[in-house]
Copies of this chain bind each other. A is one copy, B any other.
Amino acid sequence: MARSERRPTIADVAERARVSAATVSRVLNGLDGVNEELALRVREAAAELGYRPDEIARSLRTQRSMTWAVIITDIQNSFYTSVVRGIEDVGRSRGYSVMLCNTDESLEKESEYLAVVAAARVAGVVISPASWDESDIGTLVDRGTPVVAIDRRISHQEVDTVLVDNADGARKATEHLVSIGRRRIACITGSLHTTTGRERLLGYRQSLEAHGMYDESLVRESDFKEEGGHASAMDLMDLETPPDAMFVANNLMTLGALEAIKARGLRVPDDVALVGFDDEPWAEFTQPSLTVVAQPTYELGRQAADLLLARIDGETSAAREVILRTELRVRESG
């Protein structure tokens, strides 16, 4: 591997164009008031040398960077990757590149990444917090870094937030299961340290209470992961009187539950009906196809990016909350 020539600096360009570094900077940053002839020389010299300004140095000087950090809890969950696409497309159109960090639902990893992100002086942060009340974003916010929360709320912090109406989505799912005649409807929700886990449980509970059917013994708190959904479903099927339906609060846990039910030799939806949260391209090809509450993932990312841009551009209004709608997609599983 040929470790070759030092990369050109602004001084090299200045020398070649026979101007000062300041002029090179002005030309390359598009500031006007530079003689057209000099500007031409600068551009030529820069092109000949293959010059690209060093973003590190520039960031140090300007105290800002053209990077966004996106901190999500699970890079392997298509819900988040789709959201990231939305964020990225907006960011890119404004010249930002995206640094993606994966916390794996771990508060510890989240703290580490927040520290890295603070040290990197990113222009803004979009985060799906691992916890409602323990996320360590205080210092970042205090120092004025624009932050937008997605998918989950953060307590005690005034940050812009984009999420869906989780309780409403859960209600739609539960009502649907009631409407097809199910009477022992279980719920596998995510961590109750997240607003998403709490609100989906809340919507489920409200629905069943309205029908006088709520039974706490049919509720399981899990972790938004496939294994967790599997274990909770197994647990529910071990009950003396097992449920005849399950509402599962995200895509990965739904897959785990489906796996568990099939492993038990039970049929979906005949023995156990299943309604999940989050839609997927493959959800209509499973056996049976999955009834789900779909979220506008890409749009969620776009909106988060828009809020971030507004803050970066200096908007100082009170924290906003954007709530998007979900949609029940009835297929075969429930």
Query: How many copies of this chain sit in the oligomeric assembly?
Result: 2
Question: Which residues from chain B contact A92 at a C-beta distance below 8 Å?
Answer: 109, 112
Interface mask (A8-43 → B, CB under 8 Å = 1, otherwise 0) = 000000000000000000000000000000000000
Whether A120 is near chain B, meaning CB under 8 Å from some CB there, is yes
Q: Who on chain B is nearest to A112 by CB?
A: B92
Q: Are A82 and B76 in contact (CB under 8 A)?
A: yes
Whether A142 is near chain B, meaning CB under 8 Å from some CB there, is yes
Question: Which residues from chain B contact A143 at a C-beta distance below 8 Å?
Answer: 3-5, 7
Question: Which residues from chain B contact A210 at a C-beta distance below 8 Å?
Answer: none
Q: How far is the CA of A316 from the CA of B288 in the complex (A)?
A: 54
Whether A244 is near chain B, meaning CB under 8 Å from some CB there, is no
Q: Who on chain B is nearest to A3 by CB?
A: B144
Whether A287 is near chain B, meaning CB under 8 Å from some CB there, is yes
Whether A176 is near chain B, meaning CB under 8 Å from some CB there, is no
Q: Which of B82, B85, B101, B139 contacts A50 (CB 8 A)?
A: B139
In the complex, how many angstroms separate the beta carbon of A11 from the nearest chain B beta carbon? 15
Question: Which residues from chain B contact A255 at a C-beta distance below 8 Å?
Answer: 281-282, 285
In the complex, how many angstroms separate the beta carbon of A99 from the nearest chain B beta carbon? 4
Q: Nearest 3 pairs between A and B by C-beta?
A: A287-B287, A100-B100, A3-B144
